Amino acid sequence: MDAYDPQTIEARWQKWWEDHRTFAVEGTAPRAKKFYCLTMFPYPSGVLHVGHGRNYIIGDVVSRYKMMRGYEVLSPMGWDAFGLPAENAAIKKGVLPRTWVEQNVAHMKTQFRRWGVGYDWRREVNTSTVDYYKWTQWIFLVLYERGLAYQRKAPVNWCPSCQTGLANEEVVEGKCDRCGAEVSKRDIPQWFFRITEYAQRLLDDLSELGEWPETVRTMQANWIGRSEGARVDFRLEDGTPLPVFTTRPDTLWGVTFMSLAPEHPLVRKLVAGTPREKEVLGFCDRCRLQSAAVRGDAAVEKEGVFTGAYVVNPVSGERVPLWVANYALMEYGTGAVMAVPAHDQRDFEFARKYGLPIKVVIQPTDPGTGPMACAPRPLRAEAMEAAYVDAGIMVDSGPMGGTASPAGIPEVIAYLAGEKMGDRTVHYRLRDWLISRQRYWGAPIPVIHCPTCGIVPVPVDQLPVELPAETEIEFPPKGESPLAKVASWVNTQCPTCGQAARRETDTLAQWLCSCWYFLRYTLTDAERRPNDKPFDRKKVDYWMPVDQYIGGIEHAVLHLLYTRFICKVLCDAGHVGFAEPFKALFTQGMICKQSSITHKLEKMSKSKGNVVSPDAVIAEYGADTQRLYTLFVGPPQKDAEWQDDAVVGARRFLDRVWRQVAERQEAMAGVRPYAGDGSDLDAAAKALWRKTHQTIRKVTDDIEHSWQFNTAVAAVMELANAIAEAPKSPAAAPVLRLALESMVRLLAPLVPHFAEELWVALGHEPSVLAAGWPEFSEAACQEDVLEIPVQVNGKLRAHVSVPAGASEEVVTAAAMGLEKVKEFIGAAPVRKVIYIPGRMLNIVAK
Ligand SMILES: [Zn+2]
Ligand SMILES: [Zn+2]
């Protein structure tokens, strides 16, 4: 055998897998033996670095492992090619988005190939191709027909840099998720999906996702943000209803003012023509520049302005002033907040700042415990330094006085309902999903605006609505879709009445494209022609749900929530037979590296000067070394540090295993792997046989149950140590062969080119994937146990059970742990321990 040369063998095996269609699947296995392994598809936004590699390498390990376990594994890949990143980058570089995407796809595909990750490329999707986005438009129409898509003019999140509206989920800490610009609000007509209609189901079905990380389920639950409370029907003095939502109706008698969100439509009407108009509207305009995240932050300085109007509290008939406050959010409840400064900290701070009254309506009752327990002193508003938010008893609360708080909330709600002053209600934090973008690089929203018929959906048989040619487009964003400038495209005929009409010029957010790509993968390119359906129900029902989804946690409330919603809609519409798309989810940690700029550990990025190119690592060490290092660097769900000088360690291990096989290749010729029960083996051979079975058990467990690839690799390293020390006698040859073959098969999912090559070197036909995963026997894993007599001061006092070959330290520790031995030693110090290996232990204690 030649020396290990990854450059030669990796290219050879990549070609072999392609020629033999190793990863092409037809879906012919019984359904119990299908396995859909899905790795989140990338934006073709440039070049992949080794940090990206973790995701795809883990997916490939799982796919290959399942193939070796006899599953038919669907492992596809594609490109999330529409959207702002591509368009922004194309503008910056002065190329057309499609050209830019195509170049990146070509390069990234080469990178995937060189990593040795196996995909069924006949199923590749690119969301920006017309054969694909035709069906993204179809999904929009499915929602439209079901009343789940609507256009409305409303204040929306606006990125001044990307010049487009954004969904709430795309605004992170008040900034654009794409470009980092501060997000403001703008009043423009936008398209929304009614995801709020599915809020409760999205919440309830989280309980079915037991194989998802707890963190992701919690993030989704918090994002949906269900809270139970009451609607209370306040009114303006002229009788205009102004309902509020509150989770604390038990504090209703303590309301001393009310706050409206600056965006509340009532504000403008209330102050129109009054002396306060200028001051109030000026305040509202200033608030709009602050993001909801900043305004909703408990630490933000509370500010407000009196509108001059009053509202009437239905339970007390009291007249309280109506303010506008920065901390009242249109997104929460009704945009009107009843203020109870005695029992809400934000209201308390606001009341103190503006000299508004504070009225205590919950008195603490807990007398404490112990001999010093006494009834707490009653709260007095003047003496309060903070709001009292704990439990107590309702006081000064009309007919509800004396009720326990918060335990009595249901009684208060029943009272409100009985008096027709309000009712029990559930509030969700989740808002409708803004899906229109004022940009070019997306699927056009398939509707037509007709002067007579209004909004008319494009009939399905007229799909796709193709984007106009890129050469006709002025790309730099101007706040209106660039499509609006292409008159020949915009002007069309109404599909209903035939009149001259205009096309919708907004495009769909790329989040919709990625809500169904995994359904498209169930068709091969041949099966997709003549493209008369988005997917085939039979194929989808066979492959779905996805058995294992792998991707980053940053998608927890974006892609993963949107996709669950779209799946439920498709299920309700009868297009698919399942309501949850992803059975199991794994979110990998990031690979970080010391930044040459900040000198801190940071996520790899060009701006931090810490990007490592896989091309360079592969050229120096080979793809299998990069794979092994990536898997060995730490538990895959945690962030890990990439260290350039540690990569060589992974390469050294592969060199060592290679030499082990090469040196024993001749001796192994014609030898069959040992298949006995161990009874005919001498001690040294038996030890290797046992170690082999234990390693198979450990690696299987690490991959199958806990995804601990790092400890799996460590276990194989231990087996390699045992092989190095194994006897070279002809009698031990079958056990040695078993050990070598098992090691190569265990390595096959991790370092696939390397394992294929060694499998052939051991005299087999390729592929090692077809050889299957090695089996272990529990009996073979059992250590021989010895009963060793234990003496204390020369007298036999007990027996201790230890594994054969246990060291003196292990035997001594086990013996000292025995109750009987402890008893005879008593308080005397141990002076000496004499161990005759395997025979006797004497403890001298005097
Ligand atoms: Zn932006
Ligand atoms: Zn019409």
Q: pLDDT (tens digit, 9 = 90+) per residue, 411-443?
A: 999 999 999 999 999 999 999 999 999 999 999
pLDDT of residue 174: 83
- Could you tell me the distance, in angstroms and rounded to a whole number, from the CA of residue 596 to the centre of ligand 1? 27
- Using DSSP, state whether 39 is helix, strand or coil: strand
- Cα separation, 333 vs 74, in Å, equals 45
- Cα separation, 232 vs 240, in Å, equals 14
pLDDT of residue 375: 63
Q: Are 638 and 590 in contact (CB under 8 A)?
A: no
- Using DSSP, state whether 194 is helix, strand or coil: coil
Which amino acid type is present at position 615?
D
Tens digit of each residue's pLDDT (9 = 90 or more) over 626-674: 999 999 999 999 999 999 999 999 999 999 999 999 999 999 999 999 9
Decide if pLDDT at 370 tops 60.
Answer: no
pLDDT of residue 735: 97
Kindly report whether the peptide bond that precedes residue 635 is cis, defined as omega within 30 degrees of 0.
Answer: no
pLDDT of residue 728: 84
168: pLDDT confidence band, cut at 50, 70 and 90? confident
- Could you tell me the distance, in angstroms and rounded to a whole number, from the CA of residue 446 to the centre of ligand 1? 25
Decide if pLDDT at 299 tops 80.
Answer: no
302-316, 468-482, 727-741, 830-844: which has the minimum mean pLDDT?
A: 468-482
Q: What angle do CA 600, 606, 610 make, to 5 degrees?
A: 40
* Mean pLDDT of all residues in 833-837: 92
Among the bound ligands, the one closest to the CA of 477: 1
* Mean pLDDT of all residues in 97-105: 94
**Model pTM score:** 0.86
- Could you tell me the distance, in angstroms and rounded to a whole number, from the CA of residue 500 to the centre of ligand 2? 8
Alpha-carbon separation of residue 267 from 34, 237, 324, 340, 410 (angstroms): 59, 15, 8, 21, 32
- Could you tell me the distance, in angstroms and rounded to a whole number, from the CA of residue 504 to the centre of ligand 2? 14
- Could you tell me the distance, in angstroms and rounded to a whole number, from the CA of residue 599 to the centre of ligand 1? 28
362: pLDDT confidence band, cut at 50, 70 and 90? very high
Structure tokens at 604: 């790899």
Tens digit of each residue's pLDDT (9 = 90 or more) over 222-263: 999 999 999 999 999 999 999 999 999 999 999 999 999 998
- Cα separation, 569 vs 515, in Å, equals 11
Q: Are 254 and 359 in contact (CB under 8 A)?
A: yes
Which amino acid type is present at position 220?
Q
Alpha-carbon separation of residue 248 from 227, 256, 425, 841 (angstroms): 11, 15, 12, 71
- Could you tell me the distance, in angstroms and rounded to a whole number, from the CA of residue 518 to the centre of ligand 2? 36
Decide if pLDDT at 734 tops 80.
Answer: yes
- Cα separation, 335 vs 325, in Å, equals 10
- Cα separation, 121 vs 75, in Å, equals 9
- Could you tell me the distance, in angstroms and rounded to a whole number, from the CA of residue 481 to the centre of ligand 1? 15
Q: Are 711 and 702 in contact (CB under 8 A)?
A: yes
Among the bound ligands, the one closest to the CA of 448: 2
Structure tokens at 372: 């010093």
Nearest to 39 by CA among 73, 84, 85, 82: 73
Alpha-carbon separation of residue 798 from 10, 575, 845 (angstroms): 59, 71, 15
- Cα separation, 332 vs 254, in Å, equals 21
Which amino acid type is present at position 792?
V
- Could you tell me the distance, in angstroms and rounded to a whole number, from the CA of residue 515 to the centre of ligand 1? 22
- Could you tell me the distance, in angstroms and rounded to a whole number, from the CA of residue 510 to the centre of ligand 2? 29
- Could you tell me the distance, in angstroms and rounded to a whole number, from the CA of residue 476 to the centre of ligand 1? 13
pLDDT of residue 361: 97
- Could you tell me the distance, in angstroms and rounded to a whole number, from the CA of residue 173 to the centre of ligand 1? 13
pLDDT of residue 474: 87
Burial (CB count <10 Å: 0-12, 13-18, 19+), residue 717: middle
Helix (H) or strand (E) segment spanning residue 799? strand 795-803
83-92, 543-552, 699-708: which has the minimum mean pLDDT?
A: 83-92
- Could you tell me the distance, in angstroms and rounded to a whole number, from the CA of residue 183 to the centre of ligand 1? 8
- Using DSSP, state whether 785 is helix, strand or coil: strand
* Mean pLDDT of all residues in 693-722: 96
Among the bound ligands, the one closest to the CA of 158: 1
DSSP string, 623-636: HHHHHHHHHHSS-T
Tell me the backbone φ, ψ of residue 333, rounded to 5 degrees: 60, -130
- Cα separation, 351 vs 342, in Å, equals 9
Strand partners, 233: 243
Q: Are 804 and 784 in contact (CB under 8 A)?
A: yes
- Could you tell me the distance, in angstroms and rounded to a whole number, from the CA of residue 491 to the centre of ligand 2? 13
Burial (CB count <10 Å: 0-12, 13-18, 19+), residue 275: exposed
- Could you tell me the distance, in angstroms and rounded to a whole number, from the CA of residue 140 to the centre of ligand 1? 24
Chain mean position to CA 31: 27
Q: Are 742 and 696 in contact (CB under 8 A)?
A: yes
Structure tokens at 417: 């309902």
154: pLDDT confidence band, cut at 50, 70 and 90? confident
* Mean pLDDT of all residues in 96-109: 94
Decide if pLDDT at 300 tops 90.
Answer: no
- Could you tell me the distance, in angstroms and rounded to a whole number, from the CA of residue 145 to the centre of ligand 2? 17
pLDDT of residue 134: 98
pLDDT of residue 297: 72
Tens digit of each residue's pLDDT (9 = 90 or more) over 532-581: 999 999 999 999 999 999 999 888 899 999 999 999 999 999 999 999 99
Among the bound ligands, the one closest to the CA of 457: 2
Decide if pLDDT at 124 tops 80.
Answer: yes
- Cα separation, 809 vs 223, in Å, equals 54
Burial (CB count <10 Å: 0-12, 13-18, 19+), residue 32: exposed
178-187, 424-433, 709-718: which has the minimum mean pLDDT?
A: 178-187
Sequence-ordered list of residues with C-beta below 8 angstroms from that of 238, at least 6 positions apart, any chain: none
Contacts 24+ apart (CB under 8 A), 352-357: 353/302, 354/304, 354/323, 356/256, 356/257, 356/321, 357/256, 357/381
- Could you tell me the distance, in angstroms and rounded to a whole number, from the CA of residue 574 to the centre of ligand 2? 29
Q: Supply the DSSP symbol for 247.
A: S
Kindly report whether the peptide bond that precedes residue 477 is cis, defined as omega within 30 degrees of 0.
Answer: no
- Could you tell me the distance, in angstroms and rounded to a whole number, from the CA of residue 450 to the centre of ligand 2? 5
* Mean pLDDT of all residues in 817-822: 91
- Could you tell me the distance, in angstroms and rounded to a whole number, from the CA of residue 89 to the centre of ligand 1? 12
Mean pLDDT of the chain: 93
- Could you tell me the distance, in angstroms and rounded to a whole number, from the CA of residue 168 to the centre of ligand 1? 13
Among the bound ligands, the one closest to the CA of 453: 2
Helices (H), 127-238: 130-145, 199-204, 214-224
pLDDT of residue 532: 96
Q: How many residues does the chain have?
A: 846
- Could you tell me the distance, in angstroms and rounded to a whole number, from the CA of residue 451 to the centre of ligand 2? 7
Nearest to 154 by CA among 517, 436, 403, 554: 436
Among the bound ligands, the one closest to the CA of 437: 1
- Could you tell me the distance, in angstroms and rounded to a whole number, from the CA of residue 492 to the centre of ligand 2? 11
